[in-house]
Structure 1
Amino acid sequence: LMEVAGSDESAQYRMDSRSWRIAVQKGESDDLAFAGYEVANPAALQEMTERLRQAGIQVETGNAELAKRRGVMELISFQDPFGMPLEIYYGATEVFERPFVSSAGVTGFVAGEQGAGHYFYVVPSLDEGLAFYTGVLGFQMSDVIDIAMGPDLTVRGYFLHCNGRHHTLAIAAAPLPKRIHHFMLQALTLDDVGHACDRLDGMDDKTIDSNLRLPTNADRTASCLTTTIGRHVNDHMLSFYCATPSGFELEFGWGAREVDDRSWVMT
């Protein structure tokens, strides 16, 4: 990624022509702090505001200072049923005149209309989560699969899309200490994935508070790679996973198939 703003409290990173896509900020929880979703224009934002309020969700509007910090024209803020801070906005800042350049030599990322990537979100109630994200926010179901998250833990994951990306959000109920299990970035080339895997394979795992279910005698100075390169059965992404210092994981991949709602069949 390309750092574009930073201080002792926070940093912002670019991955395409947007002024920023990912923010890292100092906090006590080492967890996902907020997520933002884009709509096309003021009318679409007003429609979402009304839908949320009709569902009994408290919505904050008119926060010009927050909109300025986010680099958008207007936004609304609210929480999902589990207290996760969410924002919906329109009019994000574009910086086409300053091309994205990766300090690590990554060719680029699949972003644009598909957004920054996806995140896997752990919720206490699947029924409430699905009702909110599909019934209120309007996400569509891509598919449902059972996921082995450890030798003694298998969970059912629900994969949801709101654009051409196979899933922008996946949710599951799992006994994990953090609300985020992982987030995903999709590179433009397979070489980008291989080079990133090579760089991380020599990096120690510095995780302290982790989602990973390690045995008590596990070597915590081992490589930060948690899953080597392989292909997913649902979105066909070729990717690997690594532990972040915050205890959740990063998926770095390439080659995912896209969803067309005119022909997509849920499985």
Structure 2
Amino acid sequence: MSVARLGYLGFKASDPDAWNSFANNTLGMMSAAKGKDSDRYRIDSRAWRLAVHQGEQDDIGYAGFEVADAAAFSETAERLRQMGCDVMDESDDLKADRGVIGLVSTIDPSGVRIEIYYGGTELYELPFVSPVGVSSFMTGDQGLGHFVLATPYLEQSMKFYVEGLGMELSDIIDWDLGPGGKHKLHFFNCNRRHHTLALLPVPALPPKLLHHFMLEVGSLDDVGRANDRMERDSRIMITFGRHTNDHMCSFYGVTPSGFAVEVGYAPRDVDRTWSVVRYDSISMWGHKFIPPE
């Protein structure tokens, strides 16, 4: 039994005020009710999807994976314990702060806090409205989006996410970074979204574990307008392009914490006919890296 979707992400940021402006005015997220020690943002009917905590790491703080119900919750937690993971039953206070019914946590092989939960809070009575007019963010049964972790512990991480969380390999890209050599990116799904997680193998723990997170928007115009806002603020990291594996049309911008955010549209889904393959290139066209000034 797999986790169902990526439910939320938490970041540790040295400048939460910059994140507040970025989340609202650049990405088009809607401010949500604050957490106990965080600013939170909505992109759909859920009470929150992104939390920003004060911290000097400027990196991922935690990732929350949602399961369907109490049975899936218990089964996932037990499977992780059987693998030797230290799984902690979280307090009622933290469950209330996250707005969930059940919550456990563990640590992945790279040191990222992973939370498993069920029973997230819906706010249909308070519709999501983007402050910059984003038509919609594509979430639903696919969840928040995806994120990419850099790790020197590829095999251990694959075991954790595949055997522990029940994810499946979508495909592999041999990403040629020029003088940096080739890196085998591994992409994993847990629903029809092509990938909810990707792992980028690196020789040693990097300064930032999070390479990027992705938000899927409802129209190509939403991507274009987000690109304009990023360009206005000199935040474009990788130009508009189309990926080989998920076929998403997207671009990448720099967040206030230095890692990237991908904004994309119209990827293809994983279906029952899916076969695992490999690619020699990450993009069909576009996606040119812009060196920082």
TM (norm. structure 1) is 0.89
| Aligned-partner SS, 1:121 | strand
Q: Take 2:144 and 2:35, find their aligned partners in 1: how far apart are those partners?
A: 22
Q: Take 1:172 and 1:89, find their aligned partners in 2: how far apart are those partners?
A: 26
Match in the other structure for 2:198 = 170
Match in the other structure for 1:250 = 261
Residues 90/120 of structure 1: CA separation in 2 closer, same or farther (3 Å cut): same
Q: How much is the aligned-residue C-alpha RMSD, in angstroms?
A: 1.5
| Aligned-partner SS, 1:165 | coil
Match in the other structure for 1:219 = none
Deviation track 1:69-93 (CA, whole Å, cap 9, x = no partner) reads 1011111111112221011111100
Residues 7/111 of structure 1: CA separation in 2 closer, same or farther (3 Å cut): closer
Match in the other structure for 1:206 = none
Q: Take 1:8 and 1:115, find their aligned partners in 2: how far apart are those partners?
A: 23
Match in the other structure for 2:226 = 196
**Offset at residue 123 of structure 1 (A):** 1.0
Match in the other structure for 2:129 = 101
- 1:1-267 equivalences under 5 Å are 1-6=29-34, 9-149=37-177, 152-174=180-202, 176-203=206-233, 223-260=234-271, 262-267=272-277
Q: Take 2:107 and 2:194, find their aligned partners in 1: how far apart are those partners?
A: 24
Deviation track 1:149-197 (CA, whole Å, cap 9, x = no partner) reads 4653431100000111100000011264210000000000000000010
Structure 2 gap segments, 5+ residues each: 1-28, 278-293
| Larger RCO, structures 1/2 (Cα 8 Å, 6+ apart) | 2
Cα pair 2:36 2:97 within 8 Å, conserved: no
**Offset at residue 224 of structure 1 (A):** 1.4
Q: Take 1:150 and 1:45, find their aligned partners in 2: how far apart are those partners?
A: 43
**Offset at residue 6 of structure 1 (A):** 3.7
Question: Matched residue pairs, number?
Answer: 247
Identity value in percent: 49
Deviation track 1:212-232 (CA, whole Å, cap 9, x = no partner) reads xxxxxxxxxxx2101111000
Q: Take 1:196 and 1:47, find their aligned partners in 2: how far apart are those partners?
A: 40
| Aligned-partner SS, 1:28 | coil
Q: Take 1:187 and 1:148, find their aligned partners in 2: how far apart are those partners?
A: 28
Amino acid at match of 2:256: P
Amino acid at match of 2:64: G
Structure 1 gap segments, 5+ residues each: 204-222
| Aligned-partner SS, 1:32 | strand
| Aligned-partner SS, 1:33 | strand
